[in-house]
Structure 1
Amino acid sequence: MSSGDSALSLIHGYGSSDSDSDTELGDDNKSRRAKRRLSAGPSWKKSEGNKMIKSESKRLELPDGIAGLFTDKQSKWVDDKHKHEGRSRSFEHQAGNWATFVHIPVPPSDDFYDLCTALVHALPTDIPMKLMDDFHVSLSRTVVLQHHWINSFIEALRQCFIDCSSFTLVLETLEFYTNDEKTRSFLGLKVSIGHDYLLELVKLVDECLLEFRLPIFYEKPSFHVSIAWCLGNMRAKVTKDLTNDLKRLFDDFIDQNPAIDRVEVKEIQCNSGNKHFSFPLS
């Protein structure tokens, strides 16, 4: 017998065994089996034109509480800009993705806060900047980290920073910045001393980011502390006279408070969503 004949015989045997089992059943058993088939699913009946049509059995509806569970999971998340002062996300929100970035915190002293407030008040009304909620020096971009990667990524960072020592930064000049999307503008205090040490830290962070196939930091970073922000691209409104006025105000504050421009770096932090991790330096 050829392989094709063998396969056909198996197919035939499977069909005939089912029909044989029906033959072996008694009339009562066949009657009960037929009733079960009718009650279990769709049946067929004759229409007025003597044609067979399918009759669907009525399906039970899910309770609202259970049906709502599936609806919530499938509904698309909508970005409400009013909840974060009109700021738009750099990337679309997806469940399980956490916005993550590495930075050096800069806790403001009273004098530093007064300096930032004075600089913001000196801005013209067509550059409506407001003080930042927190002050820091970025060591990475804001990247998307999946939730199940967080612990591994944090441990990788911890190992990178384990031999790093504390150091001092000095902020010397003012600079205006925009984000990559040109949707926000910032006034920042640029780092003048400590730049090389920051580059070494960025290399360590970049190594961790590459392990997780995440984008690394800028090739030529301008390390700074953003002190104020506003919506839109304000570059065209920043004149040379404005820059000089702000510089004089900054220098006057430094003359009166010589230590105001110094930042003692004792730790590095990583924010991932609502989780905050700290890496103390020796």
Structure 2
Amino acid sequence: MFPDDVDPQTEDSSLHGGRIRSFKHERGNWATYVYLPYHPVEEFGEFLDELLAAVKTHGVVLTPQEEFHISLSQTVVLRHHWIQPFTQSLKTGLAHCKRFMCSAEKLKVYCNAEKTRLGNDHTTQQHKHLLSEADIFYETVEQCNHRWCVLQDPSFHVSLAWCPGDATVQMQECLQQLQTLVDDHEEGPFTLRLDCVELRCRTGNKTFCFPLDS
């Protein structure tokens, strides 16, 4: 169903803008995570360019995300033969999860554990809904006999941009300036509003969509 030879992943970080993997890729291992997609309005791109230009004046060059979403989990590794039962169990677990609205309006700087990416992010509300769906993911992972450590006090967010290495100090120095740009936006506080109607699971190069109950 998911032949290993269609997985195009590579260890060459130069093909990924300097980003490196959290774990070594091995044939038959599928990097897997769940998320809520965000489809920005047209004006969003223009405003993001304004934010990144402001960051550049402080010596940090950020690359905008190619797509935007709220991650509900860390990336876990699943074996090829676990994918079908895993996605079926995830579908069952999410069957009664309701749709909800989610907003994000405060900028925050994040640096991942490997110090390879830095996101300029909006923190999110509606943690009760997000935690519930994240728990379903981890419970489903455990059913596949896969042990994983769940993050304590997760900070759900929409990553806006990234850079290789750890530029946390420089970003923190200009964070208030960026937040002022957000708050003074001509349409008022620049709030991301997500109509969360489906959860997605990406595993390897496959994406599965799970509509939430209306």
**TM-score, length basis structure 2:** 0.89
2:61 counterpart letter in structure 1: P
Larger Rg: 1
1:260 shift after superposition: 4.5
1:114 shift after superposition: 2.5
Whether the 8 Å CA contact 2:55–2:171 is kept in 1: the answer is no
For the pair 1:158 / 2:91, whether they are aligned, the reply is yes
Equivalent residues in 2 for 1:166-185 (5 A)? 166-185=99-118
1:121 counterpart letter in structure 2: A
Aligned with residue 196 of structure 1, among 125, 128, 137:
128
For the pair 1:111 / 2:43, whether they are aligned, the reply is yes
The residue aligned with 2:194 is 263
DSSP-derived class of the 1:256 partner: coil
1:216 shift after superposition: 4.2
The residue aligned with 1:218 is 151
The residue aligned with 1:39 is none
For the pair 1:186 / 2:186, whether they are aligned, the reply is no
CA distance 1:222–1:140, shift in 2 (3 Å): same
The residue aligned with 2:139 is 207
State the Cα deviation string for residues 49-80 of structure 1 (Å, max 9, x = none).
xxxxxxxxxxxxxxxxxxxxxxxx9xxx9721
Q: How many residues align?
A: 204
For the pair 1:134 / 2:67, whether they are aligned, the reply is yes
1:99 counterpart letter in structure 2: A
Alignment gaps of 5+ in structure 2 = none
State the Cα deviation string for residues 84-141 of structure 1 (Å, max 9, x = none).
1111111111111111111111111112222322211110352110100110101111
Aligned with residue 143 of structure 1, among 56, 76, 80:
76
The residue aligned with 1:28 is none
Aligned with residue 13 of structure 2, among 54, 58, 81:
81
The residue aligned with 1:278 is 209
Alpha-carbon distance in structure 2 between the residues aligned to 1:225 and 1:205: 19
With a CA cutoff of 8 Å and minimum separation of 6, indicate the structure with the bigger relative contact order.
Answer: 2
Alpha-carbon distance in structure 2 between the residues aligned to 1:265 and 1:157: 17
Whether the 8 Å CA contact 2:182–2:190 is kept in 1: the answer is no
Percent identity reads 36
Whether the 8 Å CA contact 1:162–1:281 is kept in 2: the answer is yes
The residue aligned with 1:14 is none
CA distance 1:214–1:269, shift in 2 (3 Å): farther
Whether the 8 Å CA contact 1:161–1:279 is kept in 2: the answer is yes
Runs of at least 4 residues of structure 1 off by over 6 A? none
CA distance 1:127–1:146, shift in 2 (3 Å): same
2:140 counterpart letter in structure 1: C
CA distance 1:257–1:236, shift in 2 (3 Å): closer
Which structure carries more helix by proportion?
1
Alpha-carbon distance in structure 1 between the residues aligned to 2:162 and 2:20: 14
Alpha-carbon RMSD:
1.9
